[in-house]
Structure 1
Protein backbone atom coordinates (compact mmCIF):
# COMPACT_ATOMS: atom_id res chain seq x y z
CA UNK A 1 0.00 0.00 0.00
CA UNK A 2 3.01 2.32 0.17
CA UNK A 3 3.06 2.40 -3.62
CA UNK A 4 0.16 4.87 -3.88
CA UNK A 5 1.84 7.65 -1.83
CA UNK A 6 5.07 7.12 -3.76
CA UNK A 7 3.27 7.40 -7.11
CA UNK A 8 1.38 10.47 -5.90
CA UNK A 9 4.68 12.09 -4.89
CA UNK A 10 6.27 11.31 -8.24
CA UNK A 11 3.27 12.72 -10.09
CA UNK A 12 3.36 15.91 -8.02
CA UNK A 13 7.07 16.32 -8.77
CA UNK A 14 6.48 15.81 -12.48
CA UNK A 15 3.67 18.36 -12.57
CA UNK A 16 5.73 20.90 -10.62
CA UNK A 17 8.78 20.51 -12.86
CA UNK A 18 6.62 20.85 -15.97
CA UNK A 19 5.04 24.02 -14.61
CA UNK A 20 8.46 25.66 -14.25
CA UNK A 21 9.72 24.55 -17.65
CA UNK A 22 8.16 27.40 -19.62
CA UNK A 23 9.34 30.99 -19.69
CA UNK A 24 7.13 34.00 -19.03
CA UNK A 25 7.63 36.16 -22.11
CA UNK A 26 5.94 39.50 -22.66
CA UNK A 27 3.07 39.32 -25.14
CA UNK A 28 3.66 41.53 -28.17
CA UNK A 29 1.42 41.88 -31.23
CA UNK A 30 2.68 39.54 -33.97
CA UNK A 31 3.35 42.55 -36.19
CA UNK A 32 6.01 43.68 -33.69
CA UNK A 33 7.82 40.33 -33.50
CA UNK A 34 11.30 40.15 -34.96
CA UNK A 35 11.24 38.02 -38.10
CA UNK A 36 12.32 34.46 -37.38
CA UNK A 37 15.12 34.59 -39.95
CA UNK A 38 16.49 37.79 -38.39
CA UNK A 39 16.22 36.31 -34.90
CA UNK A 40 18.09 33.17 -35.96
CA UNK A 41 20.83 35.24 -37.60
CA UNK A 42 21.30 37.43 -34.50
CA UNK A 43 21.34 34.42 -32.17
CA UNK A 44 23.93 32.67 -34.32
CA UNK A 45 25.98 35.90 -34.44
CA UNK A 46 26.16 35.68 -30.63
CA UNK A 47 27.96 32.34 -31.01
CA UNK A 48 25.09 29.88 -30.66
CA UNK A 49 24.57 26.88 -32.91
CA UNK A 50 20.83 26.32 -33.36
CA UNK A 51 19.66 22.72 -33.54
CA UNK A 52 15.97 23.55 -33.13
CA UNK A 53 14.19 26.91 -33.29
CA UNK A 54 10.52 27.23 -32.40
CA UNK A 55 7.82 29.52 -31.13
CA UNK A 56 6.71 28.60 -27.61
CA UNK A 57 3.76 30.74 -26.59
CA UNK A 58 5.06 34.32 -26.71
CA UNK A 59 8.74 33.29 -26.85
CA UNK A 60 11.25 32.21 -29.41
CA UNK A 61 12.95 29.11 -28.06
CA UNK A 62 16.15 27.46 -29.22
CA UNK A 63 17.84 24.18 -28.48
CA UNK A 64 21.46 24.07 -29.48
CA UNK A 65 24.97 24.79 -28.25
CA UNK A 66 26.75 27.87 -27.00
CA UNK A 67 30.20 29.01 -28.13
CA UNK A 68 31.74 26.69 -25.51
CA UNK A 69 29.98 23.68 -27.03
CA UNK A 70 27.59 23.21 -24.10
CA UNK A 71 23.96 22.31 -24.75
CA UNK A 72 21.52 25.16 -24.18
CA UNK A 73 17.80 25.76 -24.07
CA UNK A 74 17.07 29.48 -24.28
CA UNK A 75 13.85 31.49 -24.45
CA UNK A 76 13.99 34.89 -26.13
CA UNK A 77 11.56 37.82 -26.20
CA UNK A 78 10.02 37.85 -29.68
CA UNK A 79 10.36 41.63 -30.08
CA UNK A 80 13.64 42.54 -28.39
CA UNK A 81 15.41 39.16 -28.45
CA UNK A 82 16.30 39.64 -24.77
CA UNK A 83 16.98 36.35 -22.98
CA UNK A 84 13.98 35.53 -20.78
CA UNK A 85 15.17 32.16 -19.52
CA UNK A 86 18.29 30.11 -20.12
CA UNK A 87 19.34 26.60 -19.20
CA UNK A 88 22.95 25.59 -19.89
CA UNK A 89 24.42 22.10 -19.56
CA UNK A 90 26.84 21.88 -16.68
Structure 2
Protein backbone atom coordinates (compact mmCIF):
# COMPACT_ATOMS: atom_id res chain seq x y z
CA UNK A 1 0.00 0.00 0.00
CA UNK A 2 1.47 3.32 -1.09
CA UNK A 3 1.00 6.35 1.12
CA UNK A 4 1.56 9.80 -0.34
CA UNK A 5 1.54 12.66 2.20
CA UNK A 6 0.55 16.02 0.73
CA UNK A 7 -0.14 19.52 1.91
CA UNK A 8 -3.85 20.20 2.02
CA UNK A 9 -6.08 23.23 1.76
CA UNK A 10 -6.85 22.65 5.42
CA UNK A 11 -3.41 23.91 6.44
CA UNK A 12 -2.19 20.45 7.47
CA UNK A 13 -1.30 17.23 5.75
CA UNK A 14 -3.53 14.58 4.29
CA UNK A 15 -2.66 11.19 2.93
CA UNK A 16 -3.89 9.45 -0.17
CA UNK A 17 -3.72 5.71 0.26
CA UNK A 18 -4.10 3.81 -2.96
CA UNK A 19 -4.48 0.05 -2.38
CA UNK A 20 -2.97 -1.87 -5.26
CA UNK A 21 -5.89 -4.28 -5.39
CA UNK A 22 -8.50 -1.49 -5.66
CA UNK A 23 -7.39 0.76 -8.51
CA UNK A 24 -10.53 2.90 -8.58
CA UNK A 25 -10.57 3.74 -4.85
CA UNK A 26 -8.68 6.39 -2.95
CA UNK A 27 -8.80 6.55 0.81
CA UNK A 28 -8.66 10.09 2.12
CA UNK A 29 -7.57 10.65 5.69
CA UNK A 30 -8.28 14.03 7.21
CA UNK A 31 -7.02 15.00 10.64
CA UNK A 32 -9.53 17.27 12.36
CA UNK A 33 -13.08 18.27 11.54
CA UNK A 34 -15.37 21.14 10.60
CA UNK A 35 -14.32 21.51 7.00
CA UNK A 36 -15.89 24.42 5.16
CA UNK A 37 -17.37 24.08 1.68
CA UNK A 38 -14.55 26.20 0.24
CA UNK A 39 -11.87 24.06 1.90
CA UNK A 40 -13.60 20.90 0.80
CA UNK A 41 -13.83 22.09 -2.79
CA UNK A 42 -10.13 22.99 -2.80
CA UNK A 43 -9.18 19.66 -1.26
CA UNK A 44 -11.35 17.82 -3.78
CA UNK A 45 -9.64 19.67 -6.62
CA UNK A 46 -6.22 18.88 -5.13
CA UNK A 47 -6.89 15.14 -5.34
CA UNK A 48 -8.75 15.17 -8.64
CA UNK A 49 -12.35 14.87 -7.51
CA UNK A 50 -14.63 17.58 -8.85
CA UNK A 51 -17.87 15.87 -7.92
CA UNK A 52 -17.93 16.31 -4.15
CA UNK A 53 -20.84 18.15 -2.57
CA UNK A 54 -21.55 19.24 0.97
CA UNK A 55 -24.93 18.93 2.63
CA UNK A 56 -27.27 21.60 3.95
CA UNK A 57 -26.04 21.01 7.49
CA UNK A 58 -22.82 22.84 6.68
CA UNK A 59 -19.50 21.23 7.49
CA UNK A 60 -20.80 18.12 9.21
CA UNK A 61 -21.76 15.94 6.26
CA UNK A 62 -19.87 15.18 3.08
CA UNK A 63 -21.45 13.32 0.19
CA UNK A 64 -19.50 11.93 -2.72
CA UNK A 65 -21.51 11.93 -5.92
CA UNK A 66 -20.23 9.23 -8.21
CA UNK A 67 -21.10 5.78 -9.49
CA UNK A 68 -21.03 4.68 -5.85
CA UNK A 69 -22.34 7.34 -3.47
CA UNK A 70 -21.19 7.45 0.11
CA UNK A 71 -21.93 9.78 3.03
CA UNK A 72 -19.69 10.21 6.05
CA UNK A 73 -19.93 12.47 9.09
CA UNK A 74 -17.07 14.90 9.67
CA UNK A 75 -18.22 15.78 13.18
CA UNK A 76 -15.85 15.35 16.12
CA UNK A 77 -12.67 17.11 17.15
CA UNK A 78 -9.22 15.52 16.87
CA UNK A 79 -10.44 12.46 15.04
CA UNK A 80 -9.07 10.87 11.91
CA UNK A 81 -11.81 10.55 9.33
CA UNK A 82 -11.32 7.95 6.64
CA UNK A 83 -13.44 8.48 3.58
CA UNK A 84 -13.54 6.12 0.63
CA UNK A 85 -14.00 7.98 -2.62
CA UNK A 86 -14.81 6.06 -5.77
CA UNK A 87 -13.61 7.84 -8.87
CA UNK A 88 -16.19 7.85 -11.63
CA UNK A 89 -14.62 6.22 -14.68
CA UNK A 90 -16.96 8.16 -16.99
CA UNK A 91 -15.39 11.49 -16.01
**TM-score, normalised by the number of residues in structure 2:** 0.34
Q: Tell me which protein shows more strand as a share of its residues.
A: 2
Task: Tell me: higher relative CO, structure 1 or 2? Use CA pairs within 8 A at least 6 residues apart.
Answer: 2
Q: Tell me which protein shows more helix as a share of its residues.
A: 1
Whose radius of gyration is greater, 1 or 2?
A: 1
**TM-score, normalised by the number of residues in structure 1:** 0.34
